[in-house]
């Protein structure tokens, strides 16, 4: 792959995840500035996840049928910017909810299809995906640290303006990327036939449980740290430690996949995720342990994300990759993330942080058991590739 192609793909990931770095740690604090309670904040955050249930599948189906994957990415990025502008006139929960639902419908069209474009460019060197994807993590770190520092100087109400600037950069970067549709093999089985194999069904259940477990983290981690007296700069630092660990693991992933294989990596990462959620829920006031827990983001997100992307590519034929990646996004980040945000919102004020993160730990423990019994990629691969 040429350096120019590498830099263009990496640049898109950089800005896409910079937006995520602005949104995930600080959007709940922005919502809190309106006086919303924990249940309302949980419901609003769930909208971002819930839109992934429907939107990626619509866009994935359309991309696989038309072959216009890159055009969908560009239009999705453009309309994300256009709709988000309306947030500057919203102060009530319903108005904010409508804008979040609108922009996230298009925003969630972008990443799954761009993942397919990236893997198409790699052409048989899919293990190098993590080397490109790591620039998304670098963007996340830059946004978390930079915006955390800025929000210690200015009001949290400046956050939407910062996010809009990053959305514009996502759209601009999409204009510099090239893409083409893969050739379709007439002998390939249909998407539903590939999807409904037992191992694939369990794989998506595991994806759901993983993202469900992240619900309390993405929704209330910053709120928890803020309530314990951590400054916003410190909160940004803690988020960044997690993503630095993620970058390092992305660099090592080709070797790890070659040495351990996808199945062992998944099981080990799920067990370490159990430890991470228990530490955050039970001992959040201990800074040293929080720093350690954040390094485990390397496995709870980094490894599990790369393994998930690789398994989708393994389980589905090229002409169904768009729908496969869409399902990975919608069932995991969508259904799992929305349920995690909603449940954590309902549990947070009534049961507290310890109970909420303990439920997250139980979820990934169940996922680890499922992976141990069911996930055996060598027994379930698409042969018509």
What residue segments make up the domains of the chain, in order of their start?
3-379
What percentage of the chain carries pLDDT values higher than 70? 94
What is the model's pTM?
0.78
At 229-283, the pLDDT tens digits run 888 778 878 888 888 898 899 889 888 988 888 999 999 999 999 999 999 999 9
Supply 270's token pair: 């799920």
Which pLDDT belongs to residue 385?
40
At 63-119, the pLDDT tens digits run 878 878 888 899 999 999 999 999 999 988 999 999 999 999 898 878 888 888 887
Mean pLDDT of the chain: 86
Which pLDDT belongs to residue 187?
47
At 111-128, the pLDDT tens digits run 888 888 887 887 767 667
Which pLDDT belongs to residue 186?
46
At 344-358, the pLDDT tens digits run 888 988 889 999 999
Going from the C-alpha of 46 to that of each of 183, 199, 342, 344, the distances in angstroms are 37, 28, 6, 10
Which pLDDT belongs to residue 257?
85
**Once rounded to an integer, what is the mean pLDDT over residues 31-43?**
86
232 versus 206: the higher-pLDDT residue is 206
* Banded model confidence at residue 384, pLDDT cuts 50, 70, 90: very low
Residue 106's Cβ-side half-sphere holds a number of Cα atoms within 13 Å equal to: 21
Using alpha carbons, select from 125, 160, 203 the residue that is nearest to residue 19. Answer: 160
Q: What gap in Å lies between CA 303 and CA 256, rounded to an integer?
A: 9
First to last CA, the chain: 20
Which pLDDT belongs to residue 247?
86
Which pLDDT belongs to residue 3?
55
Residue 20: CB partners within 8 Å, gap ≥ 6?
140, 143
Which pLDDT belongs to residue 383?
45
Q: What gap in Å lies between CA 235 and CA 290, rounded to an integer?
A: 11
What percentage of the chain carries pLDDT values higher than 90? 40
Using alpha carbons, select from 255, 334, 379, 359 the residue that is nearest to residue 50. Answer: 334
At 20-35, the pLDDT tens digits run 889 877 888 899 889 8
Q: Which of 12-21, 43-52, 351-360 comes out lowest in average pLDDT?
A: 43-52
- CATH number for the region 3-379 comes to 1.20.1250.20
Q: What gap in Å lies between CA 28 and CA 236, rounded to an integer?
A: 14
What is the torsion angle, in degrees rounded to the nearest 10, for the CA atoms of residue 120, residue 59, residue 133 and residue 141? 160
């Amino acid at each position: 792959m040429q350096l120019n192609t590498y830099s263009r793909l990496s640049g898109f990931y950089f800005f896409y995840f910079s937006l995520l770095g602005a949104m995930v740690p600080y959007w709940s604090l922005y919502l809190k500035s309106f006086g919303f309670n924990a249940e309302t904040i949980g419901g609003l955050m769930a909208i971002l996840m819930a839109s992934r249930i429907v939107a990626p599948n619509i866009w994935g189906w359309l991309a696989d049928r038309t072959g216009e994957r890159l055009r969908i990415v560009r239009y999705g990025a453009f309309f994300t910017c256009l709709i988000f502008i309306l947030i500057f006139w919203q102060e009530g929960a319903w108005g904010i909810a409508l804008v979040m639902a609108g922009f996230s419908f298009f925003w969630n069209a972008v990443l799954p299809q761009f993942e397919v474009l990236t893997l198409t460019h790699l052409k048989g060197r899919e293990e190098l995906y993590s080397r490109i994807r790591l620039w998304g993590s670098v963007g996340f770190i830059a946004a978390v640290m930079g915006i955390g520092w800025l929000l210690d100087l200015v009001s949290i109400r400046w956050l939407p303006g910062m996010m809009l600037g990053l959305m514009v950069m996502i759209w601009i970067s999409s204009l510099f990327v090239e893409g083409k549709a893969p050739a379709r093999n007439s002998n390939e089985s249909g998407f539903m036939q590939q999807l409904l194999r037992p191992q694939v069904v369990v794989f998506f259940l595991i994806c759901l449980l993983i993202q469900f477990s992240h619900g309390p983290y993405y929704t209330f981690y910053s709120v928890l740290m803020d309530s314990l007296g951590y400054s916003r700069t410190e909160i940004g630092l803690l988020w960044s430690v997690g993503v630095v660990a993620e970058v390092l693991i992305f660099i090592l992933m080709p070797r790890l996949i070659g040495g351990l294989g996808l199945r062992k990596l998944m099981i080990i990462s799920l067990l370490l995720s159990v430890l991470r959620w228990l530490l955050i829920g039970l001992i959040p006031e201990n800074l040293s342990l929080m720093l350690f827990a954040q390094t485990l983001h390397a496995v709870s997100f980094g490894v599990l994300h790369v393994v998930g992307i690789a398994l989708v590519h393994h389980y589905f034929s090229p002409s169904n990759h768009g729908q496969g990646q869409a399902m990975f996004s919608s069932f995991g980040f969508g259904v799992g993330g929305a349920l995690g945000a909603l449940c954590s919102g309902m549990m947070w004020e009534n049961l507290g942080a310890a109970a909420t993160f303990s439920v997250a730990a139980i979820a990934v423990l169940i996922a680890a058991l499922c992976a141990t019994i069911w996930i055996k990629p060598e027994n379930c691969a698409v042969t018509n590739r």
